[in-house]
Amino acid sequence: MARFIFITGGVVSSLGKGLMAASLGALLQARGYRVRIRKFDPYLNVDPGTMSPYQHGEVYVTDDGAETDLDLGHYERFTGVPSRQTDNVTSGRIYQQIITRERRGDYLGATVQVIPHVTDAIKAFALADTDDLDFVLCEIGGTVGDIESLPFIEAIRQLKNELGRGNSISIHVTLVPFIAAAGELKTKPTQHSVRELASLGVQPDVLVCRCERPLPASERAKIALFCNVPTEAVIPALDAKSIYAVPLQYHAEGLDESVLKAFGLEPGEAPDLSRWEDIVDRLVNPEGEVTIGVVGKYVGLPDAYKSLNEALVHGGIANRVKVNIQWIDAELFEAADSDIAARLEPLHAILVPGAFGERGAEGKIASIRFAREHRVPYFGICFGMQMACVEAARNLAGISHASSTEFGPTDEPVVGMITEWMSSEGLQQRAEGGDLGGTMRLGAYEAKLAGNSHVAAIYGEISISERHRHRYEVNTGYRDRLESCGLVFTGMSPDGRLPEIVERPDHPWFVGVQFHPELKSKPFAPHPLFASFIAAALKQSRLV
C-alpha cells in the first residue's frame, strides 16, 4: 500500500511548497521509491483553464489533456513522472461532481454536507489509483487558516486516522522571518501556524522552515519544543541559487531522512544525487551566455511563462551556457515611433510564446519579420507559429489582409477555428460559440515529421507526441502559397489535416510549432527543440 505525505503551508503564501514537494519527490525517487505528487486547490474554479495567467500563472497541460496548476509542472520537471488529470483537483471540481450527483438523486434523500460528502470526495481523489506507488505526496494549496482549505485539512485528519499509524505523515511549510531591528529570526509565526493546524486535528511530523538566514541550533530546538516535533525534523530551508539546487539543499538538511524516520523506515544508504549535482554544476559554471528575447503579452509576471522559462534554462544546461531572458512586451512595437531594430538587434534569438487574443499580435508579427529578415534564430510556439504564418502570408505571399479568426471575421483566415478533429478517443466536435472552459484541443497528440526536415534532424525521429492547448489552427488552404515563399509545413497530424510544425529551410533556425514543447522539458532531459534553439543562439552570439 502507498504511504501518504500531506503537505500544508502556513504563515504566508508563496513559500515554495510546490518546489518542496517536487524536491522531496525527487529525493525519494533517488532512493529507489516510486512516487506520485498531487495538488489540491481550494479555489472554486473547476480548473485553472479559465483563469488569467496574471492571476494564477501558467496553466500546465498534462498528456491526458487536463488544464492544471503550474505546480504540476514542477512535479514533472523534478520527478519525470508525467502528471495526469487525477493529480490536480479543485474545490470547484469537487462541488461540481457532488452537485451533479445530488441533482441526479444519487444521495437518495440524504442531506448533502461538507462532512462527509465533500471530505469523502477529497479522500477519494487522494486515494485513487495509487496501488503501484510507494509514496503519494499531496500538496494542499493556500495557507492554513484560510476558510477555503478547511475541508481539505479535515479530509487529511480523517485520512491519517483511517490509513493507520506509519502510513501517513504531514509536513508543514512555514516562514521564520528575520526582523532586522531586533537582528533576530522569529519563530512565533511558525508556533502559531502549527497551533492552528493542530487545532484542526493535524499534528505535523516534519516542519520545513523557510528563512533568509541560517537557523541557529537554539531556534531550531525552540521550534521543536513548542511544535512537538523532533529537532532533526525541523528542516531549515534557505533560498537556493537555483531551483535545481533545492533537492540537494533539502537532502543536506536531512529532509528525506526525517521523512523516512517519521514513517518508521530505515533511511539506509545515501541516495545517488549525481543527476542533480551535474545540473547544478552546469548552471553554476557555464562556458558562455546567450540572450533570448521573449516577445509576449504577460511579461509582467514571469510565472505566466513558467515552463517556457524553465525549458530555456534546460536548453542552457544542454549547451552549458547561461541563458539570459529578456521579457519584451509586444505592444512596445506597435507604437509608430518604436525602434524595433534597436531593441531586437542585440538579442541572440527571438521567441514568441503561446497567447490568447489580439492584443500585442501586431508587435509579435513585426518581431517575427525582423527575425526572418535579419536571420536571427526564431522559435514560435503555438500563437508564435500562427503569427509566423500570418507574417509570411502578409509580407511574402502578398495576402495583405491575412489574419486569424481569433481576432474577428476576416476574408483571409490564414489561422482559423477548428470545429472537428480526431483524438485518441475518436472524433472531437466543438460549436463555434460554445463555453470557453475546456473547449480546446488539449493534451498529447501525435505528429508526423517530414523525413528530410530540420525538425526531424533535431528530434532524431519522425513520429513525435507533444501537448496542445489551442482553439485555432493554421489553415491548410494556404499551405501551397506559404510553402512557395519558403515557409514549409514539415510536421502534420497523422491524418494530414492539421499543421503541427512550419520551418524555413533558407534560414539559420526558424521553427514554429503548434504545440507546447516547453511542457515536456526537464533539467535532466532538455527538450531537443530548446537544446537546438539555444545552440543556434550561441552560434548567433558569435556573429553579433
Catalytic residues: 382, 516, 518
**Which residue of 20, 382, 399, 519 would you call a contact of ligand GLN, by CB under 6 A?**
382
> Considering the rule CB under 6 A, would residue 520 count as an interface residue with ligand GLN?
no
> Considering the rule CB under 6 A, would residue 445 count as an interface residue with ligand GLN?
no
Which element (helix H / strand E) includes 220?
helix 217-227
Q: Nearest approach, Cβ of 302 to ligand GLN (angstroms)?
A: 17
Strands 413-417 and 403-404: parallel
Strand positions, DSSP E, 403-462: 403-404, 413-417, 420-423, 426-429, 441-449
Contact 306, 294 (CB under 8 A): no
Alpha-carbon gap, residue 124 to 120, rounded angstroms: 6
Q: Nearest approach, Cβ of 351 to ligand GLN (angstroms)?
A: 12
Q: Nearest approach, Cβ of 467 to ligand GLN (angstroms)?
A: 10
Q: Which is nearer to ligand GLN, 59 or 392 (CB)?
A: 59
> Considering the rule CB under 6 A, would residue 379 count as an interface residue with ligand GLN?
no
Q: Nearest approach, Cβ of 472 to ligand GLN (angstroms)?
A: 3
Helix, strand, or coil here: 173?
A: strand
Which of the ranges 109-117, 162-170, 349-357, 489-497 carries the binding residues for ligand GLN, by CB under 6 A?
349-357
Q: Nearest approach, Cβ of 447 to ligand GLN (angstroms)?
A: 16
Q: Which is nearer to ligand GLN, 470 or 527 (CB)?
A: 470
List b or e across 172-190, with b for residues whose CB sees 16 or more CB atoms inside 10 angstroms: bbbbbbeeeeeeebebeeb
> Considering the rule CB under 6 A, would residue 311 count as an interface residue with ligand GLN?
no
Q: Which is nearer to ligand GLN, 355 or 531 (CB)?
A: 355
- Among 112, 139, 142, which Cα is nearest to 39's? 139
Which of the ranges 4-12, 216-224, 269-277, 466-474 carries the binding residues for ligand GLN, by CB under 6 A?
466-474
**Which residue of 470, 507, 520, 527 would you call a contact of ligand GLN, by CB under 6 A?**
470
> Considering the rule CB under 6 A, would residue 406 count as an interface residue with ligand GLN?
yes
Q: How far, CA to CA in Å, does 296 sit from each of 345, 349, 359, 468?
A: 17, 14, 10, 18
Length of the chain in terms of residues written: 544
Q: Which is nearer to ligand GLN, 190 or 514 (CB)?
A: 514
Which of the ranges 107-115, 175-183, 369-377, 470-478 carries the binding residues for ligand GLN, by CB under 6 A?
470-478
Which of the ranges 62-70, 133-141, 351-359, 527-535 carries the binding residues for ligand GLN, by CB under 6 A?
351-359
Alpha-carbon gap, residue 312 to 294, rounded angstroms: 10
> Considering the rule CB under 6 A, would residue 296 count as an interface residue with ligand GLN?
no
Contact 397, 485 (CB under 8 A): yes
- Among 10, 7, 9, 6, which Cα is nearest to 189's? 10
Q: Which is nearer to ligand GLN, 53 or 293 (CB)?
A: 53
Q: Nearest approach, Cβ of 539 to ligand GLN (angstroms)?
A: 27
**# binding residues, ligand GLN (CB under 6 A):** 10
> Considering the rule CB under 6 A, would residue 469 count as an interface residue with ligand GLN?
yes
> Considering the rule CB under 6 A, would residue 354 count as an interface residue with ligand GLN?
yes
> Considering the rule CB under 6 A, would residue 305 count as an interface residue with ligand GLN?
no
> Considering the rule CB under 6 A, would residue 471 count as an interface residue with ligand GLN?
yes
Alpha-carbon gap, residue 72 to 79, rounded angstroms: 10
Q: Which is nearer to ligand GLN, 11 or 513 (CB)?
A: 513
Cβ neighbours for 263, distance < 8 A, ≥ 6 positions apart: 3, 166, 167, 169
DSSP code at position 285? S
Handedness of CA 530, 532, 535, 540 (dihedral sign): negative
Handedness of CA 149, 155, 161, 165 (dihedral sign): negative
Locate 4 and state its grid cell: 501518504
Which of the ranges 103-111, 117-125, 318-326, 348-356 carries the binding residues for ligand GLN, by CB under 6 A?
348-356
Handedness of CA 408, 410, 415, 421 (dihedral sign): positive
Q: Which is nearer to ligand GLN, 152 or 478 (CB)?
A: 478
Cell 445530488 locates to 102
Locate 411 and state its grid cell: 476574408
**Which residue of 78, 370, 472, 530 would you call a contact of ligand GLN, by CB under 6 A?**
472
Site string for ligand GLN, 103-132 (x = CB under 6 A): ------------------------------
Q: Nearest approach, Cβ of 517 to ligand GLN (angstroms)?
A: 12
> Considering the rule CB under 6 A, would residue 383 count as an interface residue with ligand GLN?
yes
Q: How far, CA to CA in Å, does 368 sit from each of 275, 291, 375, 537?
A: 37, 17, 10, 15
Alpha-carbon gap, residue 119 to 100, rounded angstroms: 16
**Which residue of 321, 355, 389, 397 would you call a contact of ligand GLN, by CB under 6 A?**
355
Contact 525, 80 (CB under 8 A): yes
Q: Which is nearer to ligand GLN, 271 or 384 (CB)?
A: 384
Binding residues for ligand GLN, rule: CB under 6 A, are 354-356, 382-383, 406, 469-472
